[in-house]
Amino acid sequence: MTLKDLKPGERGTVIGWIDEVPPVRLLEMGVLPGSVVEVVRFAPLGDPIDLKVRGYHLSIRKHEAEMIRVARA
Amino acid sequence: MAHHDAPPTPTDAPPSLRRIALAGNPNVGKTTLFNLLTGLRQKVANYPGVTVERKSGRLTGATPAEIIDLPGTYSLNPKSLDERIAYDMLVGRIEGERPPDLVVCVTDATNLERNLYLASQVMDLGLPTVIALNMMDAAEEAGLDINASALSHALGIPVIPMTAARKKGMEALREALLADPPAPAIRRWTLMSAVASKVHPLTNVLASCVPDLPAPQRFSEVLHTLANDQALAYWADRAPGFHQAVLDARTDLNTRNVPYRQAEVIGRYGWLSPLVAKVVTRRKNAGELSWSDRLDAVLTHRIAGPLLFLVILAVIFQAVFSWATPAMDLIEGVIAGLSGGVRSLLPRGAPTDLLVDGVIAGVGNVLVFLPQILLLFFFLGLMEDTGYMARTAFIMDRIMSKVGLSGGSVVPLLSSFACAIPGIMAARTLANERDRLITIMVAPLMSCSARLPVYTLFIAAFIPAGRLFGFMGYQGLAMFSMYLLGTVMAFVAAWVLKRFVFKGDSSYFAMELPPYRLPQFKHVLWRMVERSKLFVLRAGKIIFLMSIVLWFLASYPKADPPPAMQAQQGTLEARYAVTLDSVATAQGLTVPAFLSLGPVEQALGLIAAGTPDTETELAALRIEYPKRVTGAWAIFEAQQTLDEGLTTIANEKAGYQVRNSFIGMFGRALEPVMRPLGFDWKISAGIVTALAAREVIISALATLYSVGDADETSPLLKDQLKADTYPDGSPVYTPLVAVSLLIFFVFALQCISTLAIARRETNSWRWPAVMWLYMTGLAYLFSFIVYQGGLLLGLG
């Protein structure tokens, strides 16, 4: 499953990527294999997603989220 | 890289002064700390050739040191401009900037891992580094216990806990700044072996190709070039041997499927995660929400979020328009008063005209913007400082991404409804250079407040006052349509630019939502002043020069007023003299004798005052000296007639002058080009003058039509416009022409200041030129379509 499939309140552990690797910036911000991420909410219009990762809030678009494979935590 | 070839940046610090750099993620209180350390002894400039701010200041206190606030970055991996600058400053690659003697990594204690990522990169450069562990209070509130000494031990460098916003920990930090710099740390994280086995030989290649490169920097440089194409490109011409070696290494790693582009990230976090876990303990349960999180639940709520956003915007706009307007009127009044005063003090002639109509008017054109700009910058600063700005991007991103932009463009574009200048400057917050450029390019299409007087004049004069379906007034509808047109076109233009010019970017958007913080008003106000100063100095210079040039073009060549006008003046003056004479003679005196009579002087003074009190006095005087007061009245009325007549003549002379000036000639030359849009030469001339500032067309038209001092509400100007006809009798302005002109103003870029700021923000004249061309093109095209189409449909 990917990050996009998580619902608000759910957590997952990043285990890899689908197809291409996301831009390095996303990894530098702390989203890499082994990271625990929690979906806090979706934006009012449905996109982007507010994630809690390594103690802070990161906002990413759904189409980025669907590149990231997670295992439900 | 551009800045490497630029002339040296003069730093006014003597070479022996200790240089301390502040590095850190955005939103960690680095600026607060910088302000605390330097007081107001700061200097903001730009790094050579780029629009990144270079902030430096002197450390307050007895021992001098120079503090440099590096751009806030999440990494030193040079992908974005900010990262390149930060990295280049730290390794001494910028002309005139030697590397710092000490680096303070300002870190947010509430999310250590991500913050220490950057710190570990700084440490790897072999520079003496100190960690300023900021926001300890927030960490405490979040239930985090951080063992600073254990952290220091694990990292190998000093760690100073503090809360800059509350000035805690400052003494310890100052001690550390002035003490002997700590020894550079040893690298304690490991790179995956497949990559490490390439990196070590590459550092040797680099050492032999570039012997001047300091040894501690080699590892980081190799790491960057391996994973980052831009970093590698830097060496293509400078060290081709090294460049090729890296390419070979990449090829080899690719064939073995080694994830070398992520090696650094994996390695660093691999070390930092367990390190932080050992050093930080949580007291409260993990599920408890901070007050910031609770606030977010409301402000980014599905329904309340957008609603509150609209409310906040409405408040800001209302404030800007209602508070700025009286201030702008005040400034206009002061300028008018100053003009009048100077004119009456100085002798008549060209230098006085230059001073009053050129210089003072020019300064006025700049200053009149100031209230709006100050207010906008204030609100923008407030939104940034509290963290709300990020939420506006979060809420609006979905809509913006449809046209290829991101949520970060929302506030810059909305600000442009008031004035494109703060809007364009606000685009600096966009991390993505392409998005930023597109935002800058389309911001002027959002109908700014300078267009409002033009819309008002022409809509009031030419759009009928009826109501559509008895509900919405045609005039209001027209106004709204103009705004809508500009906005829609801005989005279309953005889409076109994204699709065809700045082709397809990976539209990714990772953005931090920083915790909400109380704004620091002193800081917000200081930033407001700094940014406004920038406008006044940069755009101001250009508007000012342009105003003088336009004054010159409108005042020369000097046209002698036709003899008929001079004769008129003579006739008026003669008539006045005759009236005076007949009044005086009727009472048996010469004119000077009559005027010097006590009751006559008194009566003239009372009539001129015209208040209820003076009228009572006057009535009493009339009973005492009926003949004198009657005479005084006759003289007063004659004076009025003379004054009005002279003013009309003066206006006509001014009109005559402008019509025969360079601007008039230019307008006439332009007329054939503008006729298809329905514009005659006067409108064309007016459009040219609008280049200095849009609303200048109002005063230009007023002068061209010899109306004198008029603004957009002047009935006199409206009447003149409506009455104007071509030699064949057909009206110059029809509703169709008015609409065509309105549309022209919606799209045309007629603001020198915008061009000036765009030049500054994009560092070249290319983009402002493109901006001017495409917007003028749009203006011409749509005016043409509307006017010609209207004629075809018989609406002319």
Query: What is the per-residue pLDDT across B392-445, written as a single tens digit (0 to 9) for each?
Result: 999 999 988 888 888 889 889 988 988 888 889 888 878 788 888 999 999 999
Within 8 A by CB and 6+ apart from B76, the residues are B83, B86, B87, B90, B118, B121, B122, B125, B220, B224
CA distance B160 to B68: 19
A-chain CB neighbours of B271 within 8 Å are none
Q: Do B111 and A23 lie within an 8 Å CB cutoff?
A: no
Q: What percent of chain B stands above pLDDT 90?
A: 36
How far off is chain A from B44, nearest CA to CA, in Å? 28
Instruction: Centre a 10 Å sphere on the Cβ of residue B679 and count the other Cβ atoms it contains.
Output: 25
Of B112, B302, B513, the CB nearest to A50: B513
CA distance B42 to B66: 10
Q: Do A21 and B401 lie within an 8 Å CB cutoff?
A: no
Least confident of B18-27, B150-159, B625-634, B689-698: B689-698
Provide φ and ψ at A63, rounded to 5°: -75, -20
User: Which residue is closest to B261 within chain A, CA to CA?
Assistant: A24
Mean pLDDT confidence for B134-155: 92
Question: Among residues 11-40 of chain A, which lie with CB inside 8 Å of chain B?
Answer: 21-35, 40
Q: For residues B312 and B372, state if they share a domain.
A: yes
How far off is chain A from B394, nearest CA to CA, in Å? 6
DSSP B498: I
Q: For residues B29 and B149, state if they share a domain.
A: yes
Q: Do B508 and A44 lie within an 8 Å CB cutoff?
A: no
User: Which residue is closest to A32 within chain B, CA to CA?
Assistant: B266
Instruction: Centre a 10 Å sphere on the Cβ of residue A38 and count the other Cβ atoms it contains.
Output: 17
A-chain CB neighbours of B298 within 8 Å are none
Q: Is B69 helix (H, G, I), strand (E, B) or coil?
A: strand
Instruction: Centre a 10 Å sphere on the Cβ of residue B46 and count the other Cβ atoms it contains.
Output: 13
Q: For residues B584 and B536, state if they share a domain.
A: no
- CB of A57 within 8 Å of a chain B CB? The answer is yes
The angle, 0 to 180 degrees and rounded to 10, between the axes of the packed helices B662-674 and B681-689 is 120
Q: For residues B636 and B612, state if they share a domain.
A: yes
A-chain CB neighbours of B266 within 8 Å are 32-33
Say if residues B375 and B522 touch (Cβ distance below 8 Å). no
Of A23, A48, A54, the CB nearest to B111: A54
Mean pLDDT confidence for B710-725: 76
Range of the domain at A33: 3-72
pLDDT tier for residue B6 given thresholds of 50, 70 and 90 = very low
Say if residues A16 and A1 touch (Cβ distance below 8 Å). no
Amino acid in position B712:
E
Q: For residues B152 and B209, state if they share a domain.
A: no
Mean pLDDT confidence for A30-45: 93
Q: Which two tokens stand for residue B76?
A: 């030193």
pLDDT at B133: 96
CA distance B594 to B601: 9
Helices (H) and strands (E) in chain A, counts: 2, 5
Q: Do B117 and A27 lie within an 8 Å CB cutoff?
A: no
Q: Do B110 and A61 lie within an 8 Å CB cutoff?
A: no
Q: For residues B526 and B612, state if they share a domain.
A: no
pLDDT tier for residue B514 given thresholds of 50, 70 and 90 = very high
Tens digit of each residue's pLDDT (9 = 90 or more) over B619-659: 888 888 888 888 888 888 888 888 888 888 888 887 788 88
Amino acid in position B586:
A
pLDDT at B9: 47
User: Which residue is closest to B407 within chain A, CA to CA?
Assistant: A48
H or E segment to which residue B55 belongs: strand B53-58
Q: Which two tokens stand for residue B699?
A: 């005063």
Decide: pTM greater than 0.90: no
pLDDT tier for residue B121 given thresholds of 50, 70 and 90 = very high
Residue B704 falls inside a structural domain? no
Q: Do A61 and B266 lie within an 8 Å CB cutoff?
A: no
Mutate to test the interface with B, among A37, A59, A62 (most CBs of B within 10 A): A59
User: Strands, DSSP E only, in B410-495?
Assistant: 467-468, 472-473
Q: For residues B210 and B84, state if they share a domain.
A: no
Q: Do A59 and B513 lie within an 8 Å CB cutoff?
A: yes
Q: Is B665 helix (H, G, I), strand (E, B) or coil?
A: helix
How far off is chain A from B297, nearest CA to CA, in Å? 9
Say if residues B728 and B674 touch (Cβ distance below 8 Å). no
Amino acid in position B748:
A
B-chain CB neighbours of A55 within 8 Å are 110-114
Q: Which residue has the tokens 């101001």?
A: B540
Q: Do B74 and A29 lie within an 8 Å CB cutoff?
A: yes
H or E segment to which residue A24 belongs: helix A24-28
Q: What angle do CA B84, B88, B93 make, to 5 degrees?
A: 140
Residue B786 falls inside a structural domain? no
Residue B792's Cβ-count burial label (10 Å; 0-12, 13-18, 19+) is exposed
Q: Do B265 and A50 lie within an 8 Å CB cutoff?
A: no
Amino acid in position B617:
E
DSSP B4: G
Amino acid in position B389:
M
pLDDT at B8: 46
pLDDT at B1: 39
Strand B65-69 with B18-24, pairing: parallel
B-chain CB neighbours of A4 within 8 Å are none
B-chain CB neighbours of A27 within 8 Å are 262, 265
Q: Which two tokens stand for residue B371?
A: 């209230």
pLDDT tier for residue B238 given thresholds of 50, 70 and 90 = very high
Q: What angle do CA B149, B152, B153 make, to 5 degrees?
A: 90
- CA end-to-end distance (rounded Å), chain B: 57
B-chain CB neighbours of A40 within 8 Å are 293, 296
CA distance B460 to B718: 8
CA distance B795 to B343: 47
User: Which residue is closest to A42 within chain B, CA to CA?
Assistant: B302
B-chain CB neighbours of A62 within 8 Å are none
CA distance B10 to B100: 16
Range among A11-20, B339-348, B779-788 rated most confident: B779-788
Of A29, A48, A61, the CB nearest to B114: A29
How far off is chain A from B747, nearest CA to CA, in Å? 30
* CATH number for position A20: 2.30.30.90
Query: Of B793, B792, B679, B660, nearest to B740 (Cα)?
Result: B679
pLDDT tier for residue B185 given thresholds of 50, 70 and 90 = confident
Give me the residues paired with residue A37 across strands: A12, A53
Tens digit of each residue's pLDDT (9 = 90 or more) over B169-183: 999 999 999 888 898
DSSP B15: T
In chain B, how many domains are there?
Answer: 4
Query: Of B713, B709, B688, B689, nearest to B453 (Cα)?
Result: B713
How far off is chain B from A45, nearest CA to CA, in Å? 6
B-chain CB neighbours of A25 within 8 Å are 74-75, 79, 508, 510
pLDDT at B2: 39
Of A45, A47, A61, the CB nearest to B508: A61
Q: Which two tokens stand for residue B69?
A: 């606030």
pLDDT at B4 over 50: no
Helices (H) and strands (E) in chain B, counts: 36, 12
Q: For residues B174 and B218, state if they share a domain.
A: no
Range of the domain at B126: 2-178
Tens digit of each residue's pLDDT (9 = 90 or more) over B728-785: 778 888 888 889 999 999 999 988 888 888 988 888 899 999 999 999 999 999 999 9
Residue B188's Cβ-count burial label (10 Å; 0-12, 13-18, 19+) is middle
Say if residues B145 and B198 touch (Cβ distance below 8 Å). no
Strand B129-134 with B159-161, pairing: parallel
How far off is chain B from A40, nearest CA to CA, in Å? 9
What's the ipTM? Answer: 0.96
More confident residue, B369 or B197: B197
CA distance B403 to B445: 15
CA distance B145 to B593: 98
Q: For residues B245 and B347, state if they share a domain.
A: no
Q: Which two tokens stand for residue B125?
A: 């450069």
Amino acid in position B628:
R
Q: Do A25 and B390 lie within an 8 Å CB cutoff?
A: no
Q: For residues B54 and B169, state if they share a domain.
A: yes
Q: Which two tokens stand for residue B59?
A: 């450390």
Of B262, B293, B397, the CB nearest to A47: B397
Say if residues B707 and B446 touch (Cβ distance below 8 Å). no
How far off is chain A from B690, nearest CA to CA, in Å? 41
Of B269, B398, B507, the CB nearest to A45: B398
In chain A, how many domains are there?
Answer: 1
Q: For residues B15 and B153, state if they share a domain.
A: yes
Q: Which two tokens stand for residue B535?
A: 């406008």
Q: For residues B34 and B80, state if they share a domain.
A: yes
* Chosen domain end from B178, B204, B224: B178
Of B75, B227, B398, the CB nearest to A43: B398
CA distance B148 to B136: 10
Tens digit of each residue's pLDDT (9 = 90 or more) over B662-703: 888 888 888 899 989 888 888 888 888 887 777 778 777 877
A-chain CB neighbours of B394 within 8 Å are 43, 48, 50, 59
Q: Is A14 helix (H, G, I), strand (E, B) or coil?
A: strand
Say if residues B602 and B621 touch (Cβ distance below 8 Å). yes
pLDDT at B209: 93
Please give the C-alpha separations between residue B704 and each of B336, B655, B696, in angstroms, as whole numbers.
20, 5, 12
B-chain CB neighbours of A26 within 8 Å are 508, 510
CA distance B584 to B325: 50
Say if residues A34 and A67 touch (Cβ distance below 8 Å). no
Q: Which two tokens stand for residue B68?
A: 């440099």
Q: Do A34 and B509 lie within an 8 Å CB cutoff?
A: no
**Residue B125 half-sphere exposure toward CB, CA atoms < 13 A:** 28
Mutate to test the interface with B, among A41, A56, A68 (most CBs of B within 10 A): A56
pLDDT at B414: 87
Q: Which two tokens stand for residue B446?
A: 């959002």
Q: Do B395 and A22 lie within an 8 Å CB cutoff?
A: no
Give me the residues paired with residue B103 across strands: B21, B129
Mean pLDDT confidence for B498-504: 77
Q: Do B509 and A60 lie within an 8 Å CB cutoff?
A: yes
Mean pLDDT confidence for B470-490: 84
B-chain CB neighbours of A41 within 8 Å are 297, 300
Mean pLDDT confidence for B92-96: 88
CA distance B685 to B666: 7
Strand B53-58 with B472-473, pairing: unpaired
**Residue B452 half-sphere exposure toward CB, CA atoms < 13 A:** 8
Give me the residues paired with residue B22 across strands: B69, B104
CA distance A65 to B60: 47
Tens digit of each residue's pLDDT (9 = 90 or more) over B527-578: 888 888 877 887 777 777 777 787 788 888 887 878 888 888 888 899 888 8
Of B113, B509, B514, the CB nearest to A48: B509
Say if residues B515 and B387 touch (Cβ distance below 8 Å). yes
User: Which residue is closest to B286 within chain A, CA to CA?
Assistant: A55
Residue B646 falls inside a structural domain? yes
